[in-house]
Amino acid sequence: MNLTKVTLQIQNSSNSSDESTLMLSEEIGKNWTIPFHEPLNLCFGSASHQVTVEPSSQDSVLLVSAALASKWGLAHDDELRLQYEPVSETIQIGPLIGVIVSRINRKAPYKPFGVNTSFCRELSDACKLESSVVFFFTQEDVQKQTDSIKGWVYTNKWVSRRFPIPKVIYNRITSRKLERRASFQQFVKYAKARHNVVFFNEKYLNKIEVFHALKKEPELHVYLPESHLLRNFQALKTMCNKYDVVFLKPTTGSLGIGIIRIHRNANQTYTCHFNHLSGVRTQTYMSIEKLFHAISSKVRKSRYQIQRGLRLLTVAGRPVDFRALVQRGETGQWSITSIVARIAGNEQFVSNLARGGTITTVRAALARSNASAAVGGLSKLRRAALHIAKGIENRMAGHFAELGIDLALDSRGQVWLIEVNSKPSKDDTAPLSTENKIRPSVKKFVQYAHYSSSLKE
């Protein structure tokens, strides 16, 4: 039977026994064969409470006590999904979805999540349309070894309530440092072990670990440019002798910051382009030894991936790559939500928007490249993105529900993997929906949250 939608009504009463009494539409009770006047379990998220269900003549209404509603963070007129499991004698309502974020600015009530506030609003709207409850919280809102969380929910404004630990938690912590905190790791371990919580995208991905994992999938080798951890001088020398262009990438970097492009010139000198926050700095070294000496301090401080350089398709002389957003949906299977082309800015070798890049459609970029290698490019990109997402699922520890997969097409039409991002940008500078419509990516997240919760159909 499909899930039933109910509207929550809250009954104010001083009688403590009312906390254990539910009023449910008689028609819904009959459809689900819910036994009236008998003790049953009511579950919301990880919380459970023993109740007795009484019939009501009101259509599609679930009446609960004010005390229980307050304890669980429920509000009058909340629309929820309901199902009954006769074997366990359990009525489940929800689903309840939690989103953990890096920080909340309690002094900015209209923009508590900074640049991510618009996304949080959009996700809240999508959950309301799908009859579910979503709340947002930080590590500071989680008390050790407790079964409730203080979180923020959007009504006509942002308000705080206390909720049970949800069955589904979406990790939107955008700081590797915060994510590595012992308190966060302990919470993840506790919630999984105690409540069987599903964590979406529970960790950042490391470039070296991703390539190492995907190498275990033979069918993915065709997408992987030669890459290694830069351990010593010999590794740099070997790759620079093998390829005219190589890239050094911080294994935990983002936004293209810290990437070094090395070009071996005909006279055996080496020109390096250093991508900094302030722009690109160029320096030429007379030998590979002098180059390594110049970057050795960077290599000691941070782990770098050394990767074969690719001759990418270009638009007006600027390299172009492609970001595929791949997500799980209502059936739990991976699918392509969107693919966009990103054209690098002037004098840039990375395409990130933060570095002056521009976004266009894949078809427009391929047409503007005027290259025969672009023929059939879109279908090849889609196929590669799906294969890589499945490879991540098969070979990487952790649970992932959405991935930003950066791909490239070279001058021969070959698709290559650049990197995989487990935290695709959701900030206010990202392209949001027009006309206040909810984006397909947000809808798909909610659908997968329903699938992953105990309320999946």
**Mean predicted confidence (pLDDT) in 190-215:** 92
Which pLDDT score, from 0 to 100, does residue 13 have? Answer: 63
Q: Does the pLDDT at position 433 exceed 50?
A: no
Query: Which run of H or E residues covers position 46?
Result: none
pLDDT: is 435 or 220 the higher one?
220
Which pLDDT score, from 0 to 100, does residue 264 have? Answer: 93
Rg of the chain on CA atoms, in Å = 26
Which residues, in sequence order, are bridge partners of residue 137?
100
SS3 content of the chain, % helix, strand, coil (to 5): 30, 35, 35
Pairing of strands 148-154, 61-65: unpaired
Which pLDDT band, with edges at 50, 70 and 90, does 302 fall under? confident
Token pair recorded at residue 242: 């093998």
* DSSP conformation letters of 318-329: EEEEEEEEEEE-
Token pair recorded at residue 457: 């159909």
97-200: CATH class: alpha beta
pLDDT: is 277 or 35 the higher one?
35
> Residue 26: exposed, middle, or buried by beta-carbon count in 10 A (0-12, 13-18, 19+)?
middle
Which pLDDT score, from 0 to 100, does residue 455 have? Answer: 47
**Mean predicted confidence (pLDDT) in 88-109:** 92
Give the count of beta carbons closer than 10 Å to the beta carbon of residue 257: 14
* DSSP conformation letters of 262-308: EEE-TTS-EEEEEEETTEEEEEEESSHHHHHHHHHHHHHHS-EEEEE
Domain boundaries, the chain: 4-94, 97-200, 207-211+215-222+312-422, 227-308
Cα–Cα distances in Å, from 293 out to 70, 227, 236, 308?
63, 21, 11, 21
Range name among 82-86, 320-324, 349-353 with the lowest pLDDT average:
349-353
Averaged pLDDT of the chain? 89
Q: Does the pLDDT at position 192 exceed 70?
A: yes
Percent of the chain at pLDDT > 70 equals 91
Query: How do residues 391-423 score in pLDDT, each as one tens digit?
Result: 999 999 889 999 999 999 998 999 999 999 998
Pairing of strands 96-101, 168-172: parallel
Which pLDDT score, from 0 to 100, does residue 110 have? Answer: 86
> Residue 103: exposed, middle, or buried by beta-carbon count in 10 A (0-12, 13-18, 19+)?
middle
Side-chain half-sphere of 388: how many Cα atoms within 13 Å? 32
Output the CA angle 349-353-357, nearest 5 degrees: 45
Query: How do residues 116-165 score in pLDDT, each as one tens digit?
Result: 899 999 999 999 999 999 999 999 898 766 789 999 999 989 999 999 99
Which pLDDT score, from 0 to 100, does residue 456 have? Answer: 44
Query: Collapsing DSSP states into helix, strand and coil, what is residue 418?
Result: strand
Measure CA of the first residue to CA of the last residue in the chain; give whole Å: 8
Its pTM surpasses 0.75: yes
Percent of the chain at pLDDT > 90 equals 70
Query: Which run of H or E residues covers position 342?
Result: strand 334-343
- Largest distance between two CA atoms of the chain: 89
Asked if 55 contacts 49 with a C-beta cutoff of 8 angstroms, the reply is no
Which residues, in sequence order, are bridge partners of residue 7?
61, 79
Which pLDDT band, with edges at 50, 70 and 90, does 346 fall under? low
**Mean predicted confidence (pLDDT) in 233-249:** 94
CATH number of 207-211+215-222+312-422: 3.30.470.20, 3.30.9.10, 3.20.20.70, 3.40.50.1820?
A: 3.30.470.20
Write the CATH number of the domain with boundaries 4-94.
2.40.40.20
**Mean predicted confidence (pLDDT) in 100-123:** 91
pLDDT: is 392 or 1 the higher one?
392
**Mean predicted confidence (pLDDT) in 192-219:** 92
Asked if 336 contacts 326 with a C-beta cutoff of 8 angstroms, the reply is yes
Place of tokens 């490239």: 408
Backbone region of residue 5 per phi and psi (left: phi > 0; alpha: psi in -120 to 50; beta: other values):
beta
Please tell me which of 14-28, 272-286, 400-414, 442-456 the model is most confident about, judged by mean pLDDT: 400-414
Token pair recorded at residue 420: 């995989």
Range name among 214-228, 328-342, 416-430 with the lowest pLDDT average:
416-430
Give the count of beta carbons closer than 10 Å to the beta carbon of residue 172: 19
